[in-house]
């Protein structure tokens, strides 16, 4: 057999096994895996290295305006470059609807931002902030285009769609095999805390974390799951940051609820004490949900290890620490006026490898699942997330021994800080390939803007999930009626 490319001599790591082998690639697709493959117009030496599926970043904000109008620092070029340097061959940023916008216009806008610029493959999750009847009518057309997941918010006055809005979205998503993602924090609790802090003149960055207590997440996680169960729709809880939230997710999964969840490196690496840094330094660590404490970090690692989370996502939300981002409303703006989020798309996998695999907290197979293969399955990327014949040649070659410090430069993004600054990280991607194209090789970008492609995603398949039952929503009977499958 002839190959365009052969990656030889590496240790191939999948979600279930590791073995020495060669990968033969033709036309951007993996066409053979064997102990030894000869030939190949291009041969890539991976000896002494790990060969893993390219990362899939399922939670990041790229060229997105926040509801208060702050644009992320990264566009689809810099964001995809940063993702690629961090070992990702696909990302799924959000296409965000702001109230009053037609969904068709939102998608057209994001297409124009992504298509000419992305160096890696991409799709979008659609954020819905305004589930009006006209918007709901547009959703079937969105699924038909292969955008098979949404994000909704239970917090922020300009985004929160309310419980009834969530039921509408969950119901229509279910009918089309789409997945609803939710930002779960109790809006009223947060607003009440904000009012109390504001009345007391407590507006420094540290009060941001205190204004969003763990109970606000736990209550909303519980409520979101209840709403999803009422209509028997699958649900994905994003950025779980609390032990209580993770415990609810675990309990519900074990009981058979169709539920997925993720956490993020910042909740493992940082704590709310980072918001106490001098001056306005703490603003760099403002994100929602907020950073917690060391006990929470340990608990989240336990949940990662035991399978509570499908993925560890970056929640890359890059707002620079200057007047274009965090300080749009002044250099000493009160915390409610500071954009929420931090960068991390380049550090997600190195951090997970270094702190997870190297420190014995997770296995290599877990690393593959958490970084790539689970996201592929959950979000309907059916040709991605595995190293096997017939899959896209999306491959990262890792040097498991390379040790470097996290720096702003290592992010290769447009940010002016990294929250991981100075951390020593062992295990970095050396080469990143997307559909057979080399995107990054030994610290150099090889791809051109626009080479990444939009990937139409499949519907979520929950049929294999535990506890699957067919439910018909019968208004006359007043409740979900179980029907024979
Ligand atoms: N939610 C996110 O997912 N990212 C940044 C801020 C937010 O509220
Ligand atoms: Zn968001
Ligand atoms: Zn969120
Ligand atoms: Zn986010």
Distance 413 CA to ligand 1 centre (A): 19
- Fold classified for 53-370: TIM Barrel (3.20.20)
Distance 393 CA to ligand 4 centre (A): 28
- What sections of 233-310 are H helices per DSSP? 243-254, 265-269, 294-305
Distance 110 CA to ligand 2 centre (A): 15
The atom number, within ligand 1, closest to the CA of 159 reads 8
Cα dihedral 47, 34, 54, 466 in deg (nearest 10): -130
Count CB neighbours of 329 within 10 A: 15
Tell me which residue has its CA closest to atom 8 in ligand 1: 288
Distance 316 CA to ligand 2 centre (A): 9
Q: Given this model, what pLDDT does residue 470 score?
A: 46
Count CB neighbours of 436 within 10 A: 19
Residues within 5 A (CB) of ion ligand 4:
315
Ligand 1: residues with CB < 6 A are 61, 183, 238-239, 288, 315, 317, 340-341
Tell me which residue has its CA closest to atom 5 in ligand 1: 341
CB 124 within 8 A of CB 93: yes
Rounded distance, CA 450 to CA 115, Å?
Answer: 6
The atom number, within ligand 1, closest to the CA of 156 reads 8
Lookup: tokens for 387 = 């190293």
ipTM for this prediction: 0.89
In the chain, domain spans: 53-370
The atom number, within ligand 1, closest to the CA of 317 reads 5
53-75: pLDDT as tens digits: 999 999 999 999 988 889 999 99
234-264: pLDDT as tens digits: 999 999 999 999 999 999 999 889 999 999 9
270-302: pLDDT as tens digits: 999 999 999 899 999 999 999 999 999 999 999
DSSP codes joined into one string, 245-264:
HHHHHHHHHHTT--EEEEE-
121-168: pLDDT as tens digits: 999 999 999 999 999 999 999 999 999 999 999 999 999 999 999 999
Tell me which residue has its CA closest to atom 7 in ligand 1: 288
Ligand nearest the Cα atom of residue 287:
1
Count CB neighbours of 78 within 10 A: 21
Record the pTM: 0.95
Lookup: tokens for 404 = 């470097």
Distance 61 CA to ligand 2 centre (A): 7
Lookup: tokens for 363 = 């296995």
Distance 151 CA to ligand 4 centre (A): 9
Q: Given this model, what pLDDT does residue 1 score?
A: 85
Rounded distance, CA 463 to CA 273, Å?
Answer: 43
For residues 440-451, one letter each, b for 16 or more C-beta atoms within 10 angstroms of the residue's C-beta and e for the rest, the string is beeeeebbeeeb
């Amino acid at each position: 057999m002839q190959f365009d490319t052969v990656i030889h001599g590496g240790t191939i790591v999948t979600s279930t096994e590791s073995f020495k082998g060669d990968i033969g690639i033709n036309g951007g697709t993996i066409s053979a895996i064997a102990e030894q493959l000869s030939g190949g117009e291009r041969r890539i030496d991976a000896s002494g290295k790990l060969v893993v599926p390219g990362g899939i970043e399922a939670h990041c904000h790229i060229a997105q305006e926040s509801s208060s109008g702050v644009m992320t620092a990264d566009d689809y070029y810099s964001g995809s470059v940063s993702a690629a340097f961090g070992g990702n061959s696909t990302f799924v940023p959000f296409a965000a609807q702001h109230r009053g916008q037609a969904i068709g216009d939102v998608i057209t806008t994001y297409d124009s931002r992504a298509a000419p610029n992305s160096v890696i493959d991409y799709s979008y999750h659609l954020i819905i902030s305004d589930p009006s009847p006209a918007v709901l009518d547009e959703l079937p057309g969105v699924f038909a285009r292969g955008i098979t997941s949404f994000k909704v918010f239970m917090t922020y006055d300009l985004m929160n769609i309310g419980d009834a809005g969530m039921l509408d979205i969950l119901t229509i998503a279910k009918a089309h095999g789409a997945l609803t993602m939710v930002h779960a924090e109790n809006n009223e609790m947060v607003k009440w805390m904000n009012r109390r802090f504001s009345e007391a003149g407590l507006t420094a960055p540290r009060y941001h974390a205190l204004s969003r207590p763990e109970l606000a997440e736990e209550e909303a996680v519980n409520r979101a799951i209840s709403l999803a169960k009422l209509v028997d729709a699958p649900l994905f809880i994003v950025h779980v940051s609390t032990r209580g939230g993770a415990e609810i997710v675990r309990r519900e999964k074990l009981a058979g609820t169709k539920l997925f969840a993720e956490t993020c490196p910042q909740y493992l690496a940082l704590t709310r004490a980072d918001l106490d840094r001098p001056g306005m330094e703490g603003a760099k660590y403002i994100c929602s949900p907020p950073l917690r404490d060391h006990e929470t970090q340990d608990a989240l690692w336990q949940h990662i290890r035991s399978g509570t989370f499908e993925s560890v996502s970056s929640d890359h939300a890059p707002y620079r620490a200057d007047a274009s981002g965090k300080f749009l409303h002044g250099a000493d703006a009160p915390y409610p006026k500071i954009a929420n989020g931090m960068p991390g798309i380049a550090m997600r996998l190195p951090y997970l490898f270094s702190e997870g695999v190297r420190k014995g907290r997770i296995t290599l197979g877990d690393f593959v699942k958490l970084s790539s293969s689970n996201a592929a399955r959950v979000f309907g990327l059916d040709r991605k997330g595995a190293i096997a014949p017939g899959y896209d040649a999306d491959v990262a070659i890792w040097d498991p021994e390379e040790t470097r410090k996290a720096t702003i430069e290592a992010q290769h993004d447009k940010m002016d800080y990294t929250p991981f600054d100075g951390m020593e990280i062992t295990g970095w991607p050396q080469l990143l390939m997307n559909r057979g194209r080399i995107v990054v090789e030994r610290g150099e970008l090889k791809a051109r803007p626009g080479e990444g492609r939009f990937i139409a995603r499949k519907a979520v398949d929950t049929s294999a999930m535990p506890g699957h039952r067919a439910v018909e929503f019968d208004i006359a009977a007043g409740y979900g009626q179980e029907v024979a499958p």
